[in-house]
Structure 1
Amino acid sequence: MNDAPVTADLALAPVTITPTKPLTPTHVKGLLWLDVIHKSTREIRPVTYVWNPRMSTLTAQTAAYWEFLDRAVGAVDWSACSESELGELYVRSNAAGVRPTGDSLQPYFERVEKEGWIHPASVRLIDLWKEQLDLLNVADPGLLDPAELTLTADDVLDVLREHQLTIDHRGIGGPVYLDGTIWGLPVRQIVDEEGVANYLVPVLRELIPIGARHQRVVLVYDQELMQDYILLDKVLTALGAAVTRLALGRVPIDGVVASSRHGGWEGKTLSDLADACLRHVDVPTYRLGMRIYFIAMLERGCAKSFQPELLRRSMVRAERILGETGDAEPDGGGPEFLRRLAVPDGGYVDPYRLTTGLLDRRRRVPAGLLTTVFG
């Protein structure tokens, strides 16, 4: 596993979105930051976008949603369901307050492992995501391309045990903990008493080999997951990977930061935002305006609530920029300009500095970026 040659590639490895709900403003922010990082950084160095659906489908959160659908809803034509209907079912599945047993989740994990299977309700959601992201010109990172994970869960536990990073109580019917006390971090349960692994295990199954093969791994994640991702950083570093972390703050709605499992995103999903914007602007303006709002206005860790008025202003600014620039020729994105915006030791182009540069009339951002990165 560790004998593979190390490439000069940068591995861009975000936390994946479970295919259980519509894309909320927080998801949109993350996907736009990732898209701009990917498109700008690949102009100056090779980038591998690490998005394996199995990292999110081999989780109790996703399997519990599927188990609820099969048990409480039954056989329906999922391809005819709307995004809001599927989102409402996700909220209902969590409001029920009943956690499925490990035995009831196991058949779902087995199908994912053997076939790369995704429940048809989630396939429907992902198809809707793909349509919306295509309209926004966000490249599909592989939403429906589940490659087999290189390592098994047992492989991961073996590696962690070899490095004295686990506390394993399976022999007495207990859980397994990831032990970060060597770094002053608390222990973290990664396998429960029923043998169900949490989301960190499939992430490690994917990223341990990735870290061994790439010059640097950039972990991009929700700020609410900070503790887990500090621990993940320490583990990958201990195994020989070079790691950079980028935490993105969630977007509050009406002043509240809450998990999407509780709802509250109705009327503010990506499809809702697209419908509202495209009543007033054309598609190029919508694409640029969304990036200006979610990257430049909301910033990396900004705690400002979602504000439709600021989104409208971003569309106005985008329209002005496109009008002043005209039809930009794709000139390769100005590699020298982009290198100056690279994060020190991180290897990727800073999307905030790049996007705010479009708003500053005193700075000359190469016009080609409007095509290669923001188009």
Structure 2
Amino acid sequence: MTAPARTARGSEELIRAEEPVLAHNYHPLPVVVARAEGAWVEDVEGRRYLDMLAGYSALNFGHRHPALIDAAHRQLDRLTLTSRAFHNDRLAGFAERLSALTGTDMVLPMNTGAEAVESGIKVARKWAYDVKGVPADRATIVVAADNFHGRTTTIVSFSTDETARAGFGPFTPGFKVVPYNDLAALEAAVDETTAAVLIEPIQGEAGVNIPDDGYLAGVRELTRRAGCLFVADEIQSGLGRTGHTLAVEHESVVPDVVLLGKALGGGIVPVSAVVGSREVLGVLRPGEHGSTFGGNPLAAAVGTAVVELLETGEFQRRATELGAVLREGLAALVGRGVVGFRARGLWAGVDVDPALGTGREVSERLMREGVLVKDTHGSTIRLAPPLTVTGAELEGALGTLEKVLTS
């Protein structure tokens, strides 16, 4: 990065300025980012930090990837929004490329990840009534405990995280919660009213919780036998993060519906999508669902550029190769401040010895040493660097984590 133009106010003053005017729905680390490039960010005082969170996977291709920035600039000079009242010249090409990348038939473009989940729920219910023949208003969806699919009213209705749920009732009915990674419990919950099983192939907010080998294949077989849909939420796990385009590919599983978001917008604009078979997404008719901004030309241009990056396979390979470096480095820290970890590709949940502090405290110590991560529950931190990170940068971050835990 070139030298920044310094802001007139420093980090502490800017943080204090937020307090009276911003709703307290987040508890950010006390760093004020002003510039970024690649895997690095810079605060208003010019301090540099290695970004080991990557916007919860929204920045899989790093900050300001030149191909994505170029696509956005070119589209900004032409057309940004038409609404879906009219066609635009970017949407069909984006949908074709995304469906080909994911091996699906149809694409429903939306904006945020939560919108994709809400859309997936609506589609599954409509399919249950129109195709499966479930009686009106009786469709159910089976979900997993410790899930994180977003924070809208319907989604928190089936959350087991009381921080996200408490105080926001009454809740939307129609959901059954079973333990994650438990095929027997899942099978017991599925019945003739089940429209879909909705799960994350890897639970991100839960601490990068990876199921046993065979679990995803078991979900696919169970849903096929039961005549219901398998809906995979790949909003955090998808688009190269785990070493495959989709995390379900680790078990060669093909869901009926896949929910995408975060990295699909390249860290530039919010872009999400529901992709799936024609039999399922084809149940929607004009007027039954929509979004003014969903599929807008700017989003489609950036989304197409994201798909082009993934079509090369480069980022999937990087996640696989550097993921081995990440696992090796974390394994060396077990017993030296780390009590356990779960990792797949460039994504890890790291359980720190509680005697050394909470996940928040460890994150603050790493921040002071120039590495940005985010805690999740208890003494667990998440590592999800951009897929553009270098081996040397990754090893440097692991060395910093070792220093923070052992000093």
In terms of fraction of residues, the more helix-rich structure is 1
Superposition TM-score, scaled by structure 1 size? 0.28
Superposition TM-score, scaled by structure 2 size? 0.27
